[in-house]
Amino acid sequence: MKKILVFFILCFLFGQALPVFSEEAQMDYRITANLPDNQRTKDNTYFDLQITPGKKQTIAIEIENTSNQTKKIVVEANDATTSDGITIAYSRTENELIANPKFSQIITKEQQQRTIELAPNEKKNVTFDLTYPKEKFAGYILGGIHVYEQIENQQQEKQTINFYNHFAYSIAVKLQTSDEKLTPELTLGKIKLDTENNHPIVKAELSNPIATMIDNLAIDATISKDGKTIETYQSKYGKVAPNSMFHLIIPLSKGTLAPGTYHFSGKAKAGDYHWEWEQDFEVAGKDYQLVEKENVAPKKTPIYWLIFAAIVVFVLLLLLIIIYIRRKKEKQNNEK
């Protein structure tokens, strides 16, 4: 109870709006892939299809509303891409694929996003009509069916912080014409100073231009200037989609990089595959000014907040002491 009271006092003193929490979300719908005869791996719950070039095929998923309320379910058919968190994303991201063929090219635009309404405890099949490339291709096409509930009336009053639980399901769709094994590549592209969530970062572009996945990717990277290390970065267990591009995000813990020339050094490993990169990059004055302007945590700011917080705590303690002394004196006077 005391902690809750302190929370509300601090919200009042600092002029912050109180958070509005939604009710706990429940997983009250489910989806299942209806696996066809050309499924390569019968034990998998996703589509892993051996296809014939030039042919057409319809695949389907079943959506079941397990609640006692009507639900609107959004169904998307997307290319599988690599997110900047170095995971394979079956939802829509800003990172596009860099080579063909793509899953989005073999499915009609009308079927790439639909909203399905389900009555309480109702089941529905949602179908996808696929037209396969006319030519045989190496590697595989990777896409995904992404399903989530459409949440309405999320707008609250201004000056509030809203928290919403959101469950989503994804079913992968893997298409191939042969079992040919390909060797993945990981190439380094443009490097620049940028911001993420209003904090300075170095953003390095990495690409896998081969139609195969990279699994269990570990990356070590260093940012240096004149031989002196400025920032280091490590990541493990990354997954990279075929024919995809993503950004390696390196947070700058010591603040924005000043204008000048810097060096990026990195190496990566995934099983028996190894990659190494060495590349200089330039931080221009205009980039520095833009990032520094967006930076919400300049070095000196926290000191002022600490001083202000200390004053507030001191005043509160002083008020409590005064109230305690007055009540004690009143009690003594009443006892006389």
Looking at residue 97, the DSSP 8-state letter turns out to be: B
Residues 171 and 191 both lie in one domain: no
Residue 310: the pLDDT is 82
Residues 129 and 235 both lie in one domain: no
Q: Evaluate if residue 43 carries a pLDDT over 90.
A: no
CATH code where residue 227 lies: 2.60.40.1820
Domain span holding position 224: 187-294
Residue 304 included in any domain:
no
Residue 15 included in any domain:
no
Q: Which residues, 6+ apart, have CB-to-CB distance to 182 below 8 Å?
A: 138, 139, 210, 211, 212
Q: Evaluate if residue 6 carries a pLDDT over 50.
A: no
| Average pLDDT of the segment spanning 100-123 | 95
Residue 292: the pLDDT is 84
| Average pLDDT of the segment spanning 62-74 | 95
Residue 335: the pLDDT is 63
The residue with greater pLDDT, 125 or 158, is 125
Residues 31 and 166 both lie in one domain: yes
Helix (H, G, I), strand (E, B) or coil at 319: helix
Q: Evaluate if residue 14 carries a pLDDT over 70.
A: no
Which band of pLDDT confidence, cut at 50, 70 and 90, is reported for residue 153?
A: low
Residue 334: the pLDDT is 66
Residues 92 and 42 both lie in one domain: yes
Q: Evaluate if residue 38 carries a pLDDT over 50.
A: yes
Q: Based on the structure, what is the number of domains in the chain?
A: 2
Residue 32: the pLDDT is 95
Residues 131 and 195 both lie in one domain: no
Residue 307: the pLDDT is 80
CA distances from 71 to 131, 135, 146, 151 (A): 31, 41, 16, 9
Share of the chain above pLDDT 90, in %: 66
The rounded Cα 26 to chain-centroid distance in angstroms is 21
Q: Which residues, 6+ apart, have CB-to-CB distance to 270 below 8 Å?
A: 184, 214, 215, 216, 217, 218, 238
Residues 45 and 135 both lie in one domain: yes
Residues 28 and 169 both lie in one domain: yes
